[in-house]
Amino acid sequence: MSESGTPVHILGAGPGGLATAAALRERGIGAVVLERTDAVGSSWRNHYDRLRLHTARTHSALPGLPIPRAYGRWVARDDVVRYLERYAAHHRIEVATGVEVHRLERSDSAEVPDSAEFPDGAGAPEGAGAPEGAQWVLHANGGRRLTAPAVVVATGYNHTPHLPSWPGRDSFTGELLHASRYRSPAPYAGRDVLVVGVGNTGAEIAADLAEGGAGRVRIAVRTPPHILRRSMLGWPSQRSAILCRRLPVRLVDRMAAQLTKLSMPDLAPYGLPRAEAGLYTRARQGSIPVLDAGLVDAVRQGKVEPVAAVESFEDGKVLLADGETISPEVVVAATGYRRGLEDLVGHLGVLDSRGLPRVHGRRTHPAAPALYFTGFTNPLSGNLRELALDARRIAKAVARAAR
């Protein structure tokens, strides 16, 4: 697996895939990145116009190239795309666009062990590779069959938009779209819009609509979120998250509760109560806090109205969990994404019940040696930061396996 040998194949030319390719190149290991679209950073290109990183520029750079200071502290979407393009060129990363891999298989005939033998979190030791002579076979579009000694799956946490199958959804006569299709508030000026979901995406889209001239904006809330300021007195929330990573969960929950009371107004009188479960407890379950980008002020000013969760659609109307019926013209579903790994690797026994890899980063599953996953966590400390750390760890493990 040297520069002149068969390269490692990386699926996905987002931040995780590019960072891993650069880290491998630094160790003299050839890598080719396979990207299903026509350019790097495709998911970033398709985000809404207003989006900025919620993590600080200094904690968001990938290995080997800082993000330019000119991009500011909170980097805008278009500048993230420019950075990824520059990153690929700077590290001379080989990217094959228009290649979509839909299934991975082992070339050897060894039987894949039952996934029940390997509990979640179990993994082969760092650097453990495939048996000698074994290769991964990548089945791609156009009938192509590629082979590689090692594969890194970096197709992203937000891969496939998820639109809930609400009862009566197809009968809705208004406009229904997933948040992945939302770009700006201009098409919704003067219209009645319901945003479903109060994660970071839903919160920011609701604020964007309120500021951009929508006639009425409501946001449907099933579970009240933790809401934090992006920074306080110049100190980014991300730095606190980094420092708290190894502290006991209960301690962080208590600290976060006190900080929230001191720094954030109580929105309960406006229909958005504080979260009941602890912040770190929720984060460990996959629900990270909302970093405020305008929602709090919009709610306090009455520009965004919190309502109960959506239960169903009926006769062109929306039925809420508290029994209220509303008639928005537009419903924007900020209802998250699926990882979309089942067809690719589901048959290998490496996924848990949520469709997430059982092992991550430098470790590989015993049923799939030399198969690595990056970018499938949602850490408090910042996704880009963790992708950068994972890239170096994976490169080290691949180099050790090659030796």
> Looking at the domain assignment, is residue 151 inside a domain?
yes
Place 156 in a pLDDT band, splitting at 50, 70 and 90.
Answer: confident
In this structure, are 137 and 150 located in the same domain? yes
In this structure, are 111 and 139 located in the same domain? yes
Identify the domain boundary among 333, 355, 378: 333
Identify the domain boundary among 333, 363, 393: 333
- Distance set, CA 247 to CA 74, 108, 278, 304 (Å): 27, 44, 14, 36
- Are 67 and 76 contacting, i.e. CB atoms less than 8 angstroms apart? no
| pLDDT, tens digit, 9 for 90 and up, residues 263-275 | 889 999 999 999 8
Place 116 in a pLDDT band, splitting at 50, 70 and 90.
Answer: very low
Place 321 in a pLDDT band, splitting at 50, 70 and 90.
Answer: very high
In this structure, are 222 and 123 located in the same domain? no
| pLDDT, tens digit, 9 for 90 and up, residues 30-45 | 999 999 999 999 999 9
Read off the CATH number of the domain in which 231 is found.
3.50.50.60
In this structure, are 194 and 310 located in the same domain? yes
> Looking at the domain assignment, is residue 213 inside a domain?
yes
In this structure, are 66 and 188 located in the same domain? no
Q: How many domains does the chain have?
A: 2
> Looking at the domain assignment, is residue 266 inside a domain?
yes
Q: Please provide the average confidence, as pLDDT, over all residues in the chain.
A: 89
pLDDT at 75 over 80: yes
- Distance set, CA 339 to CA 17, 150, 159 (Å): 15, 21, 5
Q: Is 109 exposed, middle or buried (0-12, 13-18, 19+ CB in 10 A)?
A: exposed
Residue 134: the pLDDT is: 64
In this structure, are 392 and 264 located in the same domain? no
Q: Which domain holds residue 111?
A: 8-158+339-402
Place 370 in a pLDDT band, splitting at 50, 70 and 90.
Answer: very high
CA neighbor of 275 nearest in space, from 199, 354, 348:
199
In this structure, are 239 and 91 located in the same domain? no
Q: Which amino acid is at 143?
A: G
pTM (2 d.p.): 0.86
Q: Which amino acid is at 41?
A: G
Place 120 in a pLDDT band, splitting at 50, 70 and 90.
Answer: very low
| pLDDT, tens digit, 9 for 90 and up, residues 214-261 | 999 999 999 999 998 887 777 778 788 887 878 898 998 898 888 888
> For residue 92, is it left (φ>0), alpha (ψ between -120 and 50) or beta?
left
> Looking at the domain assignment, is residue 3 inside a domain?
no
> Looking at the domain assignment, is residue 2 inside a domain?
no
- SS3 per residue for 201-226: HHHHHHHHHHHCCECEEEEEECCCCC
In this structure, are 328 and 364 located in the same domain? no
In this structure, are 184 and 151 located in the same domain? no
% of the chain with per-residue pLDDT over 90? 69
In this structure, are 231 and 328 located in the same domain? yes
In this structure, are 192 and 149 located in the same domain? no
Instruction: Please give the Cα distance from 37 to 17 (Å, whole number).
Output: 14
> Looking at the domain assignment, is residue 304 inside a domain?
yes
Residue 108: the pLDDT is: 67
> Looking at the domain assignment, is residue 1 inside a domain?
no
> Looking at the domain assignment, is residue 97 inside a domain?
yes
In this structure, are 16 and 115 located in the same domain? yes
Q: Which residue has the higher pLDDT, 128 or 283?
A: 283
Identify the domain boundary among 333, 364, 388: 333
